[in-house]
Amino acid sequence: MNLLIANGRVLDPANGVDAVQDVLVQDGRISRIGRALRAPAGVERIDATGKVVCPGLIDVHVHLREPGHEYKETIASGTRAAAAGGFTAVCCMANTLPVNDNRAVADYILARARVEGVVRVYPIGAVTKNLDGAQLAELAELAEAGCVGFSDDGRCVMNAEIYRRAMEYALPFGVPVISHAEDCHLAHAGAMNEGIVSTELGLPGQPAAAEEVMVARDIVLAELTGAHLHIAHISTAGAVRMVREAKARGVRVTAEATPHHLLLTDEAVRSYDPNTKMAPPLRTKRDLEAVVEALVDGTVDCVATDHAPHALSEKEDEFAEAANGVVGLETAVPLLLDRLVRPGTLDLAALVTRLSVAPARLFNLPGGSLSPGANADITVLDLEEPWTVNPTRFRSRARNTPFAGLIGRGAPVMTIVGGARVMP
């Protein structure tokens, strides 16, 4: 648990640090940061010359599938995928079996994570019992058990009155209510974004409006209740515009975007590859550009993967029948480094911010900085590390990525959780 990470470029946006320094880790915590630190006896020295040392990355939106869907992913495999992808903490969604809508399930997840997990796991509790949108889950007990937010992710709470009550009831716990913004009537059977591509492919489309009407509704409800609303996987230009406008008015709304919505459009669906199917669907180039712009200007606060593992049989299927979702933990950081940071669209400090200090603040999580005394959760990046996306080498149990075969440079090369190396 004692390390000296020497001579790396320390990038700690929370403390305004971007300089070549050494980081001394003792007893699982950041002990000191400075130049030419002397390693006390028994401290392992890690040479980070030419590499970037940043706060451990945090993914606030993953599906670990345990309990109930262990054939897709487990806490053991999902957290190993996280570690391999440079993440030191993940927030796991509530759509397990049983649903994480009561304390017993939250306790179970945390207990399994302590035994099997290699990164920190923070459960998200359900908003409503069994995700059925009808009756509030026991939010107070869920918060007490350690849930860091509430979401019926995968489903939208269609009843505005229930959602309003959830926002109000959650106020004292100081955790965000997360919106999976998708009007199920407008989205209907839509298997992809509605537009010229869905028309050509003959696939049922869902309009951007299916997302936007719910973002609009939820912003209005956040204003009414004063709750912290967090928009999950924002994907349309209209939704981005509304969040930007609401923020300017002082509404407590934040948002996340996924790597696939930052990098792919509905053109990718032309192959009918079910690995391009997810909710919300891949949108148009115009939407993608708006989401990227919002990530750059901070309207989108953080990047989250929406890591959604599925078994091969659930994906190797007719497109309209295939399960929604793609894995993301092991590809997010390499893809963003190569496709957004390398061309200069997003600067490295901004990416690190959106992956560490920002999510930590939004979800009130420890971490997100390299401040002395903080948990020694650290990610080391090598901006020149070459990579190829090879799903057969994923630590995740799942292979459902739309990025298979891509190549690039820049990747996490070491992940440290509480002073312990979990990757490599």
Partner 1 sequence: MAWKRKDLLSTQDLEAGEIAEVLDTAESMKEIASREIKKVPTLRGKTVVNLFYEASTRTRTSFEIAGKWLSADVINFSASGSSAEKGESLLDTAKNIEAMSPDVVVVRHKASGAPALLARHLRCAVVNAGDGAHEHPTQALLDLLTIREKKGALGGLGVAIVGDVTHSRVARSNIHAMRTMGMRVTVAGPPTLIPAGCQELGVKVSHRLEDVIADADVIMMLRLQHERMKGGFIPSVREYSRVWGLTLARLERCRPDVLVMHPGPVNRGVELAPEVADSRYSVILDQVANGVAVRMAVLYLLTGSKAQ
C-beta of 312: minimal distance to partner 1 in Å? 10
Choice between 212 and 301, CB closer to partner 1: 212
C-beta of 70: minimal distance to partner 1 in Å? 21
Subset of residues 293 to 332 that bind partner 1, contact rule: CB under 8 A: 313, 316-321
Subset of residues 202 to 241 that bind partner 1, contact rule: CB under 8 A: 202-205, 207
Choice between 51 and 277, CB closer to partner 1: 277
C-beta of 271: minimal distance to partner 1 in Å? 8
Subset of residues 5 to 44 that bind partner 1, contact rule: CB under 8 A: none
Subset of residues 246 to 275 that bind partner 1, contact rule: CB under 8 A: 271-272
Structure tokens at 379: 């990610």
Q: How many CB atoms lie within 10 A of CB 186?
A: 17
Check if the beta carbon of residue 284 is closer than 8 Å to that of residue 265: yes
Q: Rounded distance, CA 113 to CA 244, Å?
A: 36
Choice between 133 and 204, CB closer to partner 1: 204
Structure tokens at 220: 């209005």
C-beta of 168: minimal distance to partner 1 in Å? 33
Which residues are within 8 A (CB) of 10 and not within 5 positions of it... i.e. 6 or more apart?
A: 17, 18, 19, 20, 21, 23, 33, 53, 54, 370
C-beta of 320: minimal distance to partner 1 in Å? 5
Q: How many of the chain's residues bind partner 1 (CB under 8 A)?
A: 23
Check if the beta carbon of residue 286 is closer than 8 Å to that of residue 264: no
Q: Which of 1, 184, 201, 413 binds partner 1 (CB under 8 A)?
A: 201
Helix (H, G, I), strand (E, B) or coil at 220: helix
Choice between 149 and 325, CB closer to partner 1: 325
Q: Is 161 in the site for partner 1 (CB under 8 A)?
A: no
DSSP per residue, 361-401: HHTT-S-SS--TTSB--EEEEEEEEEEE--GGG-SSS----
Choice between 53 and 237, CB closer to partner 1: 237
Which residues are within 8 A (CB) of 257 and not within 5 positions of it... i.e. 6 or more apart?
A: 233, 234, 235, 291, 294, 295, 300, 303, 304
Candidates 19-27, 99-107, 143-151, 201-209 — which segment interacts with partner 1 by CB under 8 A?
201-209
Q: How many CB atoms lie within 10 A of CB 47?
A: 11
Q: Rounded distance, CA 14 to CA 23, Å?
A: 15
C-beta of 404: minimal distance to partner 1 in Å? 14
Query: 237-248 vs 209-225: helix axis angle to the nearest 10?
Result: 20
Q: Residue 98 has what DSSP assignment?
A: S
Choice between 195 and 366, CB closer to partner 1: 195
Q: How many CB atoms lie within 10 A of CB 133?
A: 17
Tell me the CA end-to-end span of the chain in Å, nearest whole number. Answer: 15
Q: In angstroms, how far is CA 315 from the centroid of its own chain?
A: 21
Is the bond leading into 67 cis (omega within 30 degrees of zero)?
yes
Choice between 144 and 200, CB closer to partner 1: 200
Choice between 141 and 316, CB closer to partner 1: 316
C-beta of 241: minimal distance to partner 1 in Å? 20
| Interface characters, 170-199, with partner 1 (x: CB under 8 A) | ------------------xx----xxx-xx
Burial of 277 (0-12, 13-18, 19+ CB in 10 A): buried
Helix (H, G, I), strand (E, B) or coil at 289: helix
Catalytic positions, please? 306
C-beta of 240: minimal distance to partner 1 in Å? 20
| Contact set with partner 1 (CB under 8 A) | 188-189, 194-196, 198-205, 207, 271-272, 313, 316-321
